[in-house]
Structure 1
Amino acid sequence: MTHSATRRQRRVPHAGQKRFWTRPLLWGVLLCICVAGIPYAEGLFRWLEPDARQVIYQRAPFYALLGRHMLVVGAAAVVTIAVGVGAGIAVTRRRGRDFLPLVAQLASLGQTFPPVAVLALAVPILGFGTLPIIMALMLYGLLPIVRNTLAGLQEVEGDIKTAARAMGMTPVQILQRVELPLAAPVILAGIRTSVTINIATAALGATVGASNLGDPIIAGIINGNMAYVIQGALIIALLALTLDSLFDSLQTRLRQRLSAFPR
């Protein structure tokens, strides 16, 4: 009886894991179908723009634009996560608490500047291309990560940290083994918000020569071709939904793992 119960308990997590990854997988498959199928959907887009000479964006393959878009967002996310989480950790330590208001204000300042203004200021310094949009995404995506890192670390109960110190853990060990694991779902929520926002914001890079999924949108606006606009916007939306559902699944897994530990 005990053996069969144990087997049932082992099967449940695997079924749960499949459910967790179902939505991201479905959105990802739909994204791939869209990227591969748009070049063959001329009849559909011709219905939207019957008078246009060309209704399928052909200056670059959509899979190439998708790869460049993800590269820009990913590069900005890596730097932003490192800076945002690192700053949040630093100002929640004893030596850095005096700088907590300053870090929070600086992070908030990044979102007060519209990305277009950041691009206009960055282009004379960095030139046209990928670097200006990466800088804009870093500034725009910093606030959610810093804010959630602070909230997650500050929500860790003092009794838990006291118990860890009583067990002989050093401050670094408490941070690594206690605070960060407990704060991980909240920090991941900030990363999720930052990345999802920047997926859409990255399309502005097309205005400064950074080729990505914003190319068909900008070309469609300039030429008055709504088919181009819809093609770029549709792929960006599916990419955002794929990554957002992936982060949601990761958050759910983290919460379940934390709830499995006795308090």
Structure 2
Amino acid sequence: MIAIIKYWRGPLFWLALLLLAVFCMGQFEFLFRQLTPDAAEVIYHRESFAQLLLNHLLVVAVAACLAIIIGVLAGVVVTRSWGRDFLPLVSQVASIGQTFPPVAVLALSVPLLGFGDLPTIFALMLYGLLPVLRNTLAGLQGVAGSTLEAARGIGMSPLQVLLQVELALASPVILAGIRTSVTITIATAAIGSTIGASTLGNPVIAGLVNGNTAYVLQGAVLIGLLAVCVDSTFERIQHGLALRYGG
């Protein structure tokens, strides 16, 4: 148990700070008062920070899962002999999704999907797709040909080679792309508050609209702590996979 806690001490530390900020933000009112001494209210009370955190995580989780599924599947397809012709097209489409501003995607998707979580998830999915796809391609293409030949030589089927050899050996690299994608998605999800999604961006947007720096800082601190907490968790998982598969 002690060894497990020691291994996960980084993520646990950031999680503790995040929970402290979520449930004890009001205890730091005197500090936020220094930022906006003229404001009638310096602690954001319109929604619960805990509820905003859960909503933020839900939006990020759905968008990230879609990006991971699409990115990994696309990477697998275009690295097969029958799908290599689609590699340039898939790479270009993913690059466009990464370079197209999320705000523009939101503006274009609102007429089709309405306000709220759906257009936010769609924009985040497009924005987080490229790191997953690129790392999936890098990981799969980095598996040595001799390893694949050895796997086929002992009678493995193509599906077994893919699941037990290629994806297994590429998993540290793929996870690095997922880590980047999810971290970016956590930070970018805040813009969903501009179109009615309930996220940790709500205090930030409210603070910008009302000129309340304390609100902005509260939202930014929570988003930052969440991103670092999730990133450190992925780092520990990635480290474990690298040790297991020699990456």
Name the TM tier (shorter chain).
Answer: over 0.9
User: Is the aligned partner of 1:90 residue 2:77?
Assistant: yes
> 2:197 is paired with a residue of what secondary structure?
coil
Q: Name the structure 1 match of 2:92.
A: 105
Aligned amino acid, residue 120 of structure 1: A
Structure 2, gaps ≥5 residues long: none
Aligned amino acid, residue 137 of structure 2: L
Distance 2:136 2:55 in 1: 29
Give runs of aligned pairs for residues 1-263 of structure 1, distance below 5 A.
15=3, 17-259=4-246
Distance 1:61 1:125 in 2: 30
> 2:82 is paired with a residue of what secondary structure?
helix
> Which protein has the larger Cα radius of gyration, Structure 1 or Structure 2?
1
Distance 2:26 2:57 in 1: 20
Aligned amino acid, residue 256 of structure 1: L
> 1:94 is paired with a residue of what secondary structure?
coil
Count how many residue pairs are aligned between Structure 1 and Structure 2.
247
Deviation by residue 1:113-152 (Cα, 9 ceiling, x = unmatched): 1000000000011111100110000010000000000000
Distance 1:138 1:19 in 2: 34
Once the two structures are TM-superposed, the CA of residue 257 in structure 1 deviates from its matched residue by: 1.0
Structure 1, gaps ≥5 residues long: 1-10
> 1:68 is paired with a residue of what secondary structure?
helix
Q: Name the structure 2 match of 1:4.
A: none
Distance 1:216 1:39 in 2: 14
Once the two structures are TM-superposed, the CA of residue 47 in structure 1 deviates from its matched residue by: 1.4
Deviation by residue 1:9-55 (Cα, 9 ceiling, x = unmatched): xx9xx83x443311001000110011111023211111111100100
* TM superposition score normalised by structure 1: 0.92
Distance 1:193 1:239 in 2: 14
- Per mean C-alpha deviation after superposition, the further-off stretch among 230-239 and 30-39 is 30-39
Distance 2:119 2:88 in 1: 28
Distance 2:124 2:175 in 1: 18
Coordinate RMSD, CA, aligned: 1.3
Deviation by residue 1:171-212 (Cα, 9 ceiling, x = unmatched): 100001100010000000000000000111000000000011
Percentage of identical aligned residues: 60
* TM superposition score normalised by structure 2: 0.98
Distance 1:111 1:159 in 2: 34
Distance 1:28 1:96 in 2: 42
- 4+ residue runs of structure 1 moved beyond 3 angstroms? none
Once the two structures are TM-superposed, the CA of residue 259 in structure 1 deviates from its matched residue by: 2.8
- Per mean C-alpha deviation after superposition, the further-off stretch among 38-47 and 200-209 is 38-47
Distance 1:40 1:61 in 2: 15
> 1:82 is paired with a residue of what secondary structure?
helix
